[in-house]
Structure 1
Amino acid sequence: MIATMEYVDILDKSEQLGSMVMDSDIMEAYTNSQKALHKDKEAQKLIRDFQHIKEQYDDVQRFGRYHPDYNEIMKKVRAAKREMDMNDKVAEFKIAERNLQKLLDEISRYVAQSVSEQVKAPQEGAALTDSGCGCGSGGGCGCAS
């Protein structure tokens, strides 16, 4: 591909946009909450405990309800997740993460729509949800959702 001035200009502007995101209050809140989460020993213990029980859950999921420990593991996973989610540092991080994702979705949507209405872009946190659709459209395409 031959680099044209237009191409170079687009790259420069995309770098500027990236810098603006990195310098934003939303990114600062995300970074601060991430650092606070990593420093909090209680939160880290809850995360490790949840990851450990999640591994057991993944093993049980291969067999579903037929696994002898299915009900026990399901209860443990829900309890561990609830306990982890109730931690202040985890909750703050999740809020900051959603705010950052919302900003990135808005930017993506703005860029996509400035090109064409037919260009698909994430909508309202679709990147944080699993629609079951493999095409990445958030289920909007009508395939298995």
Structure 2
Amino acid sequence: METLEAVDMTQLIMGSHELSTMINQSREVSEYLEAKRQMEADEEVQRLLVVFEAKKEQYEDVQRFGKYHPDYNHISKEVRELKRNIELRDSVQAFKRAEDALDELLYQVSRTIAHSVSETIKVPSNNPFLEAQGSGCGTGGSCGCSVKKPS
């Protein structure tokens, strides 16, 4: 059996700072920050967001009564249309792509760290497809994974 040396907590923290610096200097972070800046500078997106927030408040009011509120269908449709208009803007789409790329990088880093400890450690992701590719639940349940019981 291989003997493992205990790592000094200071070394571990310094290593994590180095890793965070490398991530912050990555192409993904740079593209994310630039896409965010461009989206925030897009006057039409900002205008639509203000309208959306106001409409969302109206939507929350009619939600209390659900489909029985006389304006439920009308306001629900307006909220969906506004959301779609915002999501179709080039700057918003670029931001979402950059955000997804950064999320993928952070997921891969987290997964590498977690799986270096144990393959059964779950690594959460904002992308359900990435989580499905990850390890099972670790319980030996219906997902098909299994845990070896100590003998």
Alpha-carbon separation, structure 2, partners of 1:42 and 1:123? 31
Paired-residue identity, %: 40
For normalisation by structure 2, the TM-score amounts to: 0.76
Equivalent in the alignment of 1:121: 123
How many positions carry a matched residue from both structures? 126
Q: CA RMSD in A?
A: 2.0
Alpha-carbon separation, structure 1, partners of 2:7 and 2:121? 24
Amino acid at match of 1:83: N
Amino acid at match of 1:80: L
CA contact (8 A) 1:105 1:125 kept: no
Amino acid at match of 2:13: L
Equivalent in the alignment of 1:56: 58
Considering only CA atoms, is the larger Rg found in Structure 1 or Structure 2?
2
Equivalent in the alignment of 2:49: 47
Q: Residue by residue, what CA displacement relative to the aligned partner does 1:49-103 show, whole Å, maximum 9, x if unpaired?
A: 1222122222222222122211011100111011101111111111111111111
Q: Counterparts in 2 of 1:80-119, with a 5 A limit?
A: 80-119=82-121
Alpha-carbon separation, structure 2, partners of 1:79 and 1:15? 43
CA contact (8 A) 1:64 1:70 kept: yes
For normalisation by structure 1, the TM-score amounts to: 0.78
Segments of structure 1 that go 5 or more residues without pairing to the other structure are: 127-139
Segments of structure 2 that go 5 or more residues without pairing to the other structure are: 1-5, 129-136, 142-151
